[in-house]
Amino acid sequence: MNKGQTMHRVAVALTLIAVALIAALPALSDNYLLRLGTMGAMYAILALSWNIIGGFAGYPSFSTAAFFGLGAYSGAILQGAGLPMPLAWVAAGLIAMAFATLLGLAILHLKGHYFAIASLVVAEVLLEITTSWTSLTGGGMGLNLPIIRISIDAQARLFFWSMLAIAVMALGMNYWVSRHRLGFGLMCIRQNEDAASMVGINTTLYKVTAFALSAVLVGAAGALYASWVFYIEPPDVFATLTSVKPIVMAMLGGAGTVLGPAIGAVLFLAMEELVWRNLLQIHAAALGLLIVALIFFLPGGLLGLVTGKRKRRVVAKKGETTSNSAVKGGAA
């Protein structure tokens, strides 16, 4: 993908978001819409973060729930210990990142299904540990967060803008990775890891970096979520669905693209609200149906639908860009 085009698209997207926000400002006094907006921003953070490891590097990671839950509990515990709220969010992000680094060193040498299962099971183990460690986490009874002394409306706005700020950071991170050598290396790893390693890409470093990046904002979002809802319990923040939904969103919009996951997140939220709210009994089935339809009718995501016609040309061009960048890389 060439530079101008991507830049242009990101600029367009940011403008659209800005316009939409300004247009929505009067509505932002409505707490329901604010809640929805906060949720959408959170989904975008999760999907965009997953995109770094799952989309760019092609590693089927199911550990979003682990990072999210870890962040939520770290933030909650730190806030309970008296740390100011924003600092607790930052700390939670860093804790999730450190955890992902260690975890990545341990399991990123696994391929395919083995990696998927290992990353999936991590959240389960954390869930069990959190449930059992009652003295620190409150165990199965859950954990209450300190009360913030500002009005309900002010809180709703505070959490919305904070979540949105992190979402913009996540979008920026995706854009940066896609432009940076890191993203190029990750795409090489996705296509052929052995070959990538042979041409001199430090695959372990790249993969672990990608995994850590995919955790940091999720951890912060988890902590923000905890502050937002005031009460967390293990099955809520470590739910397997938290790992699966971001994947569906990214696939819906187009995995491995910069904007796709964000678009997917917004669409996903809209569907969740509009369709599933009315069909509570079968809302899991509705999600299942969406997944199945997605895989059969929209394998490249929505962005793939838009760019699909040009795909052949892009592939042909890719050879050029590849050699160019390789030269650049060699020169640098």
Terminal alpha carbon distance of the chain: 21
Closest distance of CB 257 from another protein, Å: 15
- Nearer CB in complex with another protein: 55/75: 55
Q: Quick check: 291 binds another protein (CB under 8 A)?
A: yes
Give per-residue burial for 97-108: e unless 16+ CB within 10 Å, then b. bebbbebbeebb
Distance CA 207, CA 101 (A): 10
- Nearer CB in complex with another protein: 241/327: 241
Q: Quick check: 118 binds another protein (CB under 8 A)?
A: yes
Give the bridge partners for 232, in sequence order: 143
Query: In Å, what is the CA distance from 232 to each residue of 161, 218, 243?
Result: 21, 16, 17
Q: Within positions 156 to 215, which residues make up the interface with another protein, using CB under 8 A?
A: none
Distance CA 162, CA 86 (A): 9
* The binder of another protein chosen from 121, 168, 267, 298 (CB under 8 A): 121
Q: Quick check: 102 binds another protein (CB under 8 A)?
A: no
Distance CA 96, CA 110 (A): 21
- CB of 246 closer than 8 Å to CB of 55: no
Distance CA 142, CA 250 (A): 30
The one-letter amino acid at 85: M
Closest distance of CB 235 from another protein, Å: 12
Closest distance of CB 231 from another protein, Å: 23
Q: Quick check: 116 binds another protein (CB under 8 A)?
A: yes
Q: Quick check: 287 binds another protein (CB under 8 A)?
A: yes
* The binder of another protein chosen from 281, 297, 312, 332 (CB under 8 A): 281
Q: If you count them, how many residues does the chain have?
A: 332
- Nearer CB in complex with another protein: 29/132: 132
CA atoms within 13 A on the CB side of 174: 31
Q: Quick check: 247 binds another protein (CB under 8 A)?
A: yes
Q: Within positions 37 to 56, which residues make up the interface with another protein, using CB under 8 A?
A: 54
Closest distance of CB 39 from another protein, Å: 20
Interaction site with another protein (CB under 8 A): 54, 58, 60, 106-107, 110, 112-114, 116-118, 121-122, 124-125, 128-129, 132, 240, 244, 247-248, 251, 281-282, 284-285, 287-292, 294-296, 299
